[in-house]
Each structure stands twice: as structure tokens, then as C-alpha cells.
Structure 1
Amino acid sequence: MSVGWTQKPPYIELGKTTIALNEAFTITIKVENGKVKSYAPFPNIPSFKKNTIASVTSSNNKGNGQVTSIDAVIQNYYAEKEGTFVIKPFSIKVNGQVVESPGITVRVGPYDKNLGEPSKLTPEDFIDLEKNKEYVDIQEDAFLGLSTNKSQVYVGEGFTVSLAFYVASVNKAFMEFPPDLGDQLGDILKKIRPAKSWEENFQIEEISPVEVNINGKKYKQHKLYQATFYPLNSEPIVFPRVGLKMIKFKIAKDEKDPTSLEARLNMKKSHKYFYTLPKRIEVKELPAHPLKDQVPVGVFYLQEFAPKKQIRTGSSFEYGFRVWGEGNIAEIHAPEIEENDHFNFYPPSIQQSVQRAGQRVSGWKTFTFHSIPKESGVYNFKNYFSWIFFNPNTQQYDTLRAKAKVEASGESLRNLEISSANVGDFYEDISTQSNSLSHNNFRQQVRHIVNIVMLIMLSGALFLIYWSYKNKHLQQRKEKEN
């Protein structure tokens, strides 16, 4: 028999448009050939009160070998009074997707005696009323696991950590994630994140179960967190024991069909803690090397973006040096280029891409250098561009060397720089000028200037005295004559 498990997008169904005052209006979210794994709160409707939430899973065998299933969550509402009510369009986020509903008009009529009194109880109230009923705690087949893809690494070598909740396919216990799952995860991550490591987080936005096989047994893996860490020193990394509180339901002992809607509504809620096992990662020092504290660790390769083989002196060109592979891409630094008489190399522009998939972090970083050749000749770029790293697979240091070759032609740039500089007639007159030194006594020159200024001032004063005396004498002579 074949099973039609092509999952379709979630959708919303609205209840009857005409109901009695004591009859429930329903909003249902459904997923065909899949599960309602997560959903946002149902909307509040004016003049209606929320009541119980039901969860239903149904299957349909068409008889031709095709089996379909529908997983549904139903929210019940009861009207507070009679009348006609317009329920406006709304949306609910289901399994990470926003599902739209166009809204509806609902007419609420008088009380219908045949329907009886509507329930005003929440699921928690219902459980309280059932305290005297005997419940069975079905043993769950599930566990919380923290796993790593390596147990021993070098300093700077990456290892991936996964935290997931596993539920066996044969599990019969009813469980669900609690509303405070995000807060719990925040506390857990504070405990398990290594303090002295670089982290590449895989950013799990929603919990989607994946079927895995563990020791020949099938489980649903609900991955909660995954990241790759790169230790920055040789201290061992220890992941402590951490716990997750899950919601678990008990069923009535005399319940004949635990999977029925009635049985689910009558379940008794409880909590169950699941714990990981502690784990230790040994970190080894890199082998002795002058650059062991600076080189990245990983498996890397080189890709070049070379210029044309024929270039001209004085004309700029670009050369791309790309390092790609598996490792901490953030720790890849530009190759160091020594100063030389053949090229002017300027600081590079940098581009990078990081991919996180499966258990691996990979990617590339490209350094694009702008350069100007200064001398004509044939040049092998391996003499200028090289990049050292440590390969944990071979446990050896390795060097990526450029393979590109170029031929530069044209006049020497150094000669052009000298001839293009405008030095005027200074250098031309050097041979005709005396090279003897002259002595300048600055203080003596200042003294001469001061003396001259004082002599001028004294002469001016004498002239004023003489002019004043002469005027006075002329005035007295005129008075006598008169």
C-alpha cells in the first residue's frame, strides 16, 4: 500500500454562520499530510469568549492505496448575546507560515434547549473536576540529547554541537513543548556555550521534526539548537548536564481509545524533565611553528582571478586571491606581501561568503588587490602571494601559493617618476654655484638695526627742539617791533 505524504500548506476553516446562543463557533487550523507543529494564538473576537481548544488528527484511506491525513487544532468560541456579528479578516502564523482568513458574518439566535448548557470550563478547570478519576502515566520513549561531531580537536579547529529532543516512532505518551520553551533555551545556552570559542550559529528559527535512525531505531528529531565552535585556546571544553521541562499528559485508566478527541480533552496535564549527559571535548595545541598563533585551521584551497598575461608598466590591474574550504572563514586574513621593486600593491578589497549546512561550516574569502607594475619583465606571482594554514586532516602546516604569471612591458616606472618631477633650475645651477659657507651673525644684525632706529629717533627729537626754539624766537622779535 502506498501512502500519499505530500504535505500541503496549512489553511483555516471557519465554523457555521448561524448558531444558537449556547452553540460554539469554531476556528480551525489544518495541515494535510503533516502536523500542526506550531501556531500563534487564535484571534480575540468581540462579543465572543474563548473556550476550549481541541486537537484532532484524522486519516483517510481512499481504498486505492492512497492514504491522506489531516492534523487540526480547533478553537471554540461562545457568544455573549444574540445578534449579528462581523468577524473581520485575520491571520494566524502556522508552522512558520502566515495563513490568512477573509472573515465571516455570524448570526447568533436564541438559546437551543436541545444543545444543553455550553461548557464554561477551561481544560485546566476540567482537570480539577476530574481529580478523583484514576489516570495512567504512559512511559515515554524520548530523550534530550546533546551531541558533537568530534570528541577531540586542535586549537582553532571547528566542531559542531547539536541539542535536540528525540521521540521514538513507537512512543505512545502524549507530550508537547511548553510555552516558555524560548526562555528555557536561553538559560540552557548560557550554560553550554564555551566562553573562549568563536561561534557560528546555524540560527534554527522553527522546530521541524526530522526522522533519524539511532542504533537501528527510528526517532523524530526536534532540533532546538546547533552551532559550530572554534576553540581559541587549549583548555578542555566541558558541556554540563542541562534539563528541559516538557508538558506530558496522562490519560484516564478506563479510556478505550486514547487517540480520540474525547480522550485528549480528558487528559491530565503534568510536567516531565529530560536531561542531557555531560560531554567533554579535548583541545590539542598546534605543532610548533613560528606562526602557530596566527594561522587558521581547516581544509582550504586556492582560486585565483588573474589579470591578462600581458600588462604595461604604469597601468593598474586587479588580482584576486580567494581562499575557500571548510573552517573558520572569519579567521582568514589577507596574505602578507613584502615591499618590492617590481610592483606597487595596495590594500585589498575583501568579500566573503559563509555557508552553514549539515554539520559543516564552509565558505570563501576573496582579496582583490590593485597593483601597478614598476619594471618590465616576466613575474611569477608565487613569489609575492602565499598563505599558510594548518590542515587537521593531515596534521601538518600547508601553504597556498599563487600560480599566475604575468609579463610587464614598458619604460621603467622609477625613471619616469624622476623625470616627471619638476625640480626647476635648481639642479641645473648646482655646478655654477659656490659651495663655500657664509657666516650670519643674527644678534649683531639686530644690534645694528636697533642703533639705526635710535639714531633716527634722536635726530627727530633734535629737529623738533630746534623748530620749537626758532618759532619762539621769531614770535618774540615781532612783539618787540610792534
Structure 2
Amino acid sequence: MKLYAITNIFLCFFVNAFAQSPASNVTIEFGSKNLTLDQPFLISVVIRDSESRPSILFPEIKDLEKRSKTATSSVSTVDGKKVVIQTITQEYYATKPGNYLIPEFNITVNATRLHSEETMIVFGKAQSAEALEDDSKVTVDAELESNKEDIFISVQTDKKTAYIREGFALRVSLYIAENAPVEMEFYRFNEQLQFILKKLRPANCWEENVGIEEIVKRRVQIRGRSYTEYNMYQARLFPFTTEHVNFPAVSLDMLVNDHEGAVNVENKVIRKFRSKPFSVFVKQLPDHPLRDQVAVGQYHLKEQLSGELVYPGESVRYVFKVEGTGNIKAIPAPIIQAGSSLDIYPPEVSQVIRRTYQSVAGEKAFDYFVVPKKDGKFILGRYFQWIYFNTADQAYDTLRSSKMLEVKGEDYQLANLSLNGSPGLYDNLESLDSTQESISYKQLLKDATNIIVVILLITMIWVFRR
């Protein structure tokens, strides 16, 4: 009888402890399992309630090539509480059609070990040969095309000139020709990489990166010759001053099976490879009263209005959402043109940022409460405007609301509405008791669970003492 009681106590204790485990905030998710060769199979790790992005090593999968990685962060407010979701996604490509078995694997996230069961995915033929070719190509700059070495390290950017606050990509890679008559391996790679990045990271740039926890390799063509590219680092940089961004020469030591003139290390020699220095020239924006404040990139507007016909004093929600490519985190709020006809209250702000090796894109939404005070038709474009510098047109542009709010009814009178018992959304705020705390059912459930655990422990001690 005593053994039965002890067993039940332990089971209840561990069930309650597991229910409170933070592991439920981290999950593994798969993308589509029926794909074509020009589409990647996606494995994602979703982390909830964490603003920091952990380092994640995704598994190697037989017959699939690991390529780009994407990091997406979502920040929003739900019932007054900040909700943060981080999603880190790894792409896998197949080289030929067929069925591929994804074996079971484990991923460690912040000391939490996640397990995934095996699954089957199917790759069909690509929709077009051109799409497959385009996906396998890598853009190389003039420095790579002019380099005739069998082995070389390259620091390159996708732009040599950029506007202030305009993003450009930085890429650090080692290239080895497939027919190079030498064998080599990395030497103290992590230590060297940190030193390289310390030299390369400019002080006058905001950095957005996916994070590389491992060397990603792929085959590329340079001057018609096959190379293996070992990508060691890639980020998107946004200069916030007009000082030119200088990238000094950096070097990488490799262990080589070559015995000509170097320090001998375990019958191998250390050979140094050095990149070439260069600069990215930063241009100031054209003259404008808001030149030092506007966002820079390519954006468009999506908006929502909860109701287009309301009465005076009735509140409506208006969402001004800016989507596009650029430094999403730094997007400022729209310019609000104040008026006596509408009360516009400060917005709730949410954002989604998608970081890839090619770009930083996403959206930033400003959620307003608008309370009209009189009859009429109100074109919201007169009240909500967002000015930015369009890098595609190299000119300033303005996003304006296209919505119209129609208000019908008597003029808004606070006293009359109070007497009629239909106050506006923000009326009588001064009469509310701000000292009264709202009930948090989640917290109550957590407290109740902790009390149960304590009772179980006391019961277990009592059973043992008998």
C-alpha cells in the first residue's frame, strides 16, 4: 500500500513539473513534404517568449544539400502583454527527384533537447529548368572574376555604393578549386573567425544577420571553373553615418598537406590566405526637411479600418502597416496631422522581421484608435502620411491612407453622451480605479500548480516517515 501511494505521488509530481517546463516554448516544425527540385524542404525551430536568438545547429541529412538559413522575429502586443516569437529555418535541397527519408534527429536549444521523429518527403521534377539553374547560381563580384588563384579568401559586398541607412550584404567565404592539387583543413576556425569579424564589423553600421554556427559549403562557377565555396559569415549592414565603410584585408590560416616553408603542425603546414581591402562609399540623401529621420528602402502600405460608417464618439481601429525591404526595426511611426474633428490615440506597435542572406524584409504595423467628434466624411490620407526614401526610384515617396471614414449623427458632446449612458472609449477615465488589479488566470493556474506540488512533497515525506 505504501509503495502504491509513493508511486502515485511521484507520478503526480513529475506530471506537474513537466507541465511547467519551458520546453513547451520551443518546438520543431516541418515545411511542406511534397516539393519540386527548385523548392527547399524546411526545418524550423520556433521559440516563444524569448527576445534573444539562440545558436542552433541543424542536422546533416543524407542526399540533401544544406543551404540558406532564415531568422524571423515577431513582436506584438496581446491583451497588454508583449508576445515575442523567434523562428529559425534551415533550407535543404535535393539534386534529383525521389522519396527521401528524414531520420529522427535531436536539436539542442538553450540547453533544451528537442526530438523529432523520422518522416518521409517527396521531391518531384522542377517546374522549369531555368528556375533550377537560377537557384543554383551565386552572384560573384568583379574581384572573384579576376582572381585566378586555386584557393583564396574573399570579403565581398553586393554594393560598392549605398545611401545612408540603405542596406548592403557582406559575405566572407573561402574558395577552393575542385581540381586544386592540395589537401587542407580548417585550423582553429572559431578563434580565427572571431578575430576576422572584429576587424570587419564597421562601427558606423547597424548589423542584421542570420547567424552562422557552421561552415556552409556549395559548388559555384567562377570564370567557367568549378569551385567549392565555404561561406563563413554573411550579414546585412545599414550605415547610419555618411562615413565610408572600410573593410581591411583579413587573413585565414589553413592546415595544408604541403611541406614548403611554413611552421610544421602534425606533419602539416600552416598556409595563410589574405583578402583584399576595399570600401563601400556612403551617399547622403537629397535635401529634404525630414532627410535625417526618414526610412530608406522599398516599402508599400497595407491598411485596415474596422468600420467605415460610425457615430460621433464611437471609436474605430485603424491599422497603418508598412511592408517591404529595409531596416524594419528602425521604421518610424507615420506623421499624424492633428485636427479638431478626430481624436487619434497613440498606437500599439508590432513588427515582423525576416532576415535572410539576401535581404532584411518584413512589416511594421501601427494600430490606432480613432474617435470622431463630429459629422462628416474624413479622408484619412489627410491625417496619416509616411515619408521615406525609395532606393529603387532614388527619390522621396509618401505612403498615404486611401481609406475614408464617414461619421453620421449629432455633434459629439461629452456631457450629453454621459447622460445618455453611451460614453466614448476613453471617456470617464478619471473615474476609473487604477489601483484595482486585473485577474490573471494564467498566474492563478501557475500558483495552484505550485501549491499542489508542495502538498505532494509534504505527503511524500509523511508517507516515508510512517
Q: 1:356 to 1:420 in 2, by over 3 A?
A: closer
3-state DSSP of counterpart to 1:344: strand
SS at the partner of 1:171?
coil
> Aligned partners of 2:408, 2:64: CA distance in 1, in Å?
68
Residue of structure 2 equivalent to 1:202? 210
Q: Are the structure 2 counterparts of residues 373 and 279 from structure 1 closer, same or farther at C-alpha, using a change threshold of 3 Å?
A: same
Secondary structure in 2 aligned to 1:297? strand
In the other structure, the counterpart of 1:299 is 298
Report the Cα distance in structure 1 between the residues aligned to 2:249 and 2:192, rounded to whole angstroms: 14
| Root-mean-square deviation over aligned CA pairs | 3.3
* Runs of 4 or more consecutive aligned structure 1 residues displaced over 3 Å after TM superposition: 30-36, 416-421
Aligned residue type for 1:234: T
1:121-145 Cα shifts (integer Å, max 9, x gaps)? xxxxxxxxxxxxxxxxxx9822111
Matched, 1:407 2:406: yes
Which residue matches 1:398?
397
Partner of 1:272: 271
* Cα 1:384/1:141, change in 2 over 3 Å: same
Instruction: Give me the whole-angstrom Cα distance separating, in 2, the residues matched to 1:140 and 1:276.
Output: 12
Query: Which residue does 1:223 correspond to in 2?
Result: 231
TM-score normalised according to structure 1 size:
0.54
- Name 2:176's counterpart in structure 1: 167
CA distance in structure 2 between the partners assigned to 1:309 and 1:31 by the alignment? 53
Amino acid in the other structure paired with 1:209: K
Following the alignment from structure 2 to structure 1, what is the Cα–Cα distance between the partners of residues 173 and 114? 28
Structure 2: which amino acid aligns with 1:227? A
Aligned ranges 1:302-451 → 2 under 5 Å = 302-413=301-412, 415-417=413-415, 420=418
Give the Cα–Cα distance (whole angstroms) in 2 for the partners of residues 157 and 407 of structure 1.
39
1:14-53 correspondence runs (5 A): 33=63
Deviation per residue, 1:157-200 (Å, 9 max, x gap): 1111000111112223111112x211111111111111011111
Q: Report the CA distance between 1:268 and its aligned residue.
A: 2.7
Task: Determine if the alignment matches structure 1 residue 185 to structure 2 residue 193.
Answer: yes
* Alpha-carbon distance, 1:213 to partner: 1.7
Q: Counterpart amino acid of 1:319?
A: Y
Q: Name the TM-score, length of structure 2 as normaliser.
A: 0.56
Matched, 1:145 2:154: yes
Gap runs ≥5 in structure 2: 1-59, 67-105, 116-147, 261-265, 420-466
Where 2:329 maps in the other structure, the secondary structure is: helix
Q: Deviations over 1:316-352 (max 9, x none)?
A: 2111101111111112111121321221111111111
In 2, Cα distance between the equivalents of 1:31 and 1:200? 28
Question: In the alignment, is the contact (CA less than 8 A) between 1:341 and 1:375 conserved in 2?
Answer: no
- C-alpha distance in 2, partners of 1:32/1:99? 20
CA contact (8 A) 1:153 1:284 kept: yes
* Separation in structure 2 between the aligned mates of residue 342 and residue 31 of structure 1, nearest angstrom: 62
Deviates more, 1:358-367 or 1:320-329: 358-367
Determine the C-alpha separation between the residues in 2 that align with 1:99 and 1:307. 41
How far apart, in 2, do the equivalents of 1:331 and 1:363 lie?
A: 12
C-alpha contact (below 8 Å) 1:140/1:173 kept by paired residues: no
* Stretch moving more, 384-393 or 201-210: 201-210
- How far apart are 1:308 and its partner, in Å? 2.0
* Rg larger in structure: 1
Alignment counterpart, residue 176 of structure 1, candidates 185, 197, 211: 185
Calculate percent identity across the aligned residue pairs. Answer: 38
Q: What is the CA–CA distance in structure 2 between the aligned matches of 1:230 and 1:92, rounded to whole Å?
A: 32
- Counterpart residue number, 2:26: none
Count residues in correspondence: 285
Paired AA for residue 182 in structure 2: A
Structure 2 partner of 1:232: 240
1:375 shift after superposition: 1.1
Higher relative contact order (CA 8 A, sep 6+): 2
Unaligned runs of 5+ in 1: 1-29, 37-90, 101-138, 253-266, 422-482
Judged with a 3 Å threshold, the aligned counterparts in structure 2 of structure 1 residues 140 and 393 are, in CA distance, closer, same or farther, namely closer
SS of 1:209 mapped into structure 2 = strand
